[in-house]
Each structure stands twice: as structure tokens, then as C-alpha cells.
Structure 1
Amino acid sequence: MPRRAPDPAQVREDLLAVAPWVADPDAHERPARPVLAAAVRSSLRTLEHAAPGHSVEVRVPPFGAVQCIEGPRHTRGTPPNVVETDAATWLALALGLLSWDAAADRVSASGHRAPEIARWLPVVDVHRRCENG
């Protein structure tokens, strides 16, 4: 049974708490580990619920991993479709500060279905939200 869907307001709060650092890590202090963990985990859970399924595994070590996107379920060993990246890159993708194509050198994506997660990014688009008020 899937985990309960995250509260959208909490996800937005978690992501906006790290947004200044993600946007400009040289000008802002790295957020505390629990703040980073909350942002990564809530955004991963949002992806998991937006794109339910088990054909792609998205990993952001050491904070979390989820399976998403409809298709064949993988149950043993390393899944054939895996996306793995660091917290800063994942958060930039989740916030819409970095596009999937621009992140190519910072993301390990294996399997032909892995790039499909781009369809569900960003989780919270800070640019659009700011423009709309």
C-alpha cells in the first residue's frame, strides 16, 4: 500500500526553506540536515503520488528513494530504470530551478524509462508561483 500523500502546503514549505541555498549555494549557508531531509523526502513522496507505479526508482542518497511511473514492477536486485542524484540537484529539479536536460551531467539515469520523471518536474515551480502571486 502506498504511503499517504504529502500535504501540498507542507511540501511547498519544505522546498521553499531550502530554495535560497539551492538557487545560490555560494551566497547561502547549507541548510541543516533535517531541513534538507524534509525537503528531499516530501518532494520524493510528491513525485511518488503524482506518478504512481514501480517502473522507475528515484534515489537521493542518503535521504530517500521512491518508485514511480506505471509499468512493470521490479522486485529483485537493481531496478533497470534508476535515477540517482545528490540532494542539491534533486531539489533544484523539484523546485524548477534546473531542467532535466540541464541536469544531465549531475544525474545518473539508467534505463530507457528513467528520463520519464521529467514529465512530473518541477514538484513546486518557484518561478511560476512567484509570478502568479
Structure 2
Amino acid sequence: MARAKIADEVGGPAVRAAVAGGADRNTTATAVRYLLQLLAERAPGNTVEVRVPPFGAVQCIPGPRHTRGTPPNVIETDAATWLALASGSMTWDEGLASGAVHASGQRASLEGLVPLRY
């Protein structure tokens, strides 16, 4: 069963609150999931898995489909870093250089896909 889509009227304000700081855990979770949803919509596919534990994960970017076991292309980061990347306050290269973003696999890159419009 597909996960329910977060409406723009709910996701946008959650992102703005979380990026501004001081958002509660539920608002942060909604913001993270909404931004992951936007990423999957912007770059549909199953080649790269983007994980933001404990809030969510999506598969995105066109290319070879992954179906079993650990995906060959994984990007993982924490919620604060994901919010910074998706909102544009941190670049992809800054996230990698700081160690806040862990990317493994030949296609594990969000270069040109972040920031997202919300």
C-alpha cells in the first residue's frame, strides 16, 4: 500500500517552521517526509535510496532498479542536515565535506536536485 501523500498546505508550513528552528518532533517529521516526497517527485526512480532516520526514506533518480537487500546507492543524513540541504542553506558539496551526509555508490548524488522548492 502506498504511503499517504502530504498535502502542500501541510508540508510547506511544516518545512518553514522546521527550517526556522524550534519545531517540535512531529512538525520536523512532517517537514522531512514532505521534502523527501518532493525529491521523489522531482527525480522519480529507484536507483538511489535517500534515508533520513528515523523519519523516512525514499527511492529516487532514474536508472537501474534495486529490489532486494541493501541498495547499491544510498544517501543518509540526519534531519537537520536534510532540512539544510533541501532548503538551500547547505550545498551538496558542503554536506559531503562536513561528513554530515554519507553517500555510497556510484550514483549516490543529489547534485542539481537540491535545494527543493516547497
Shared fold, TM over 0.5: yes
State the SS of the aligned residue for 2:40.
Answer: helix
Per the alignment, residue 31 of structure 2 pairs with: 39
Task: Quote how far apart the aligned CAs of 1:75 are.
Answer: 0.8
Choose the corresponding residue for 1:65, options 54, 57, 71.
57
Structure 1 unaligned regions, length at least 5: 22-28, 126-133
Per the alignment, residue 124 of structure 1 pairs with: 117
Number of residue equivalences:
116
Query: Partner amino acid for 1:73?
Result: R
Structure with greater helix percent: 1
Tell me, in whole angstroms, the C-alpha distance in 1 between the residues paired with 2:6 and 2:106: 28
Query: Partner amino acid for 1:80?
Result: P
Q: Give per-residue Cα distances to partners, 1:55-103, cap 9 Å, x unaligned.
A: 0000000000000000111111110000000000000001111000011
Identity of aligned residues (%): 52
Tell me, in whole angstroms, the C-alpha distance in 1 between the residues paired with 2:30 and 2:4: 15
Cα contact 1:12–1:124 (8 A) shared by 2 = no
Per the alignment, residue 12 of structure 2 pairs with: 12
Task: Quote how far apart the aligned CAs of 1:123 are.
Answer: 1.3
Structure 2 unaligned regions, length at least 5: none
Query: Partner amino acid for 1:103?
Result: G
Task: Quote how far apart the aligned CAs of 1:112 are.
Answer: 1.1
Cα contact 1:83–1:110 (8 A) shared by 2 = yes
Tell me, in whole angstroms, the C-alpha distance in 1 between the residues paired with 2:35 and 2:116: 6
- Bigger mean CA deviation after superposition, 12-21 or 85-94: 12-21
| Shift in CA distance, 49/5, structure 1 to aligned 2, threshold 3 Å | farther
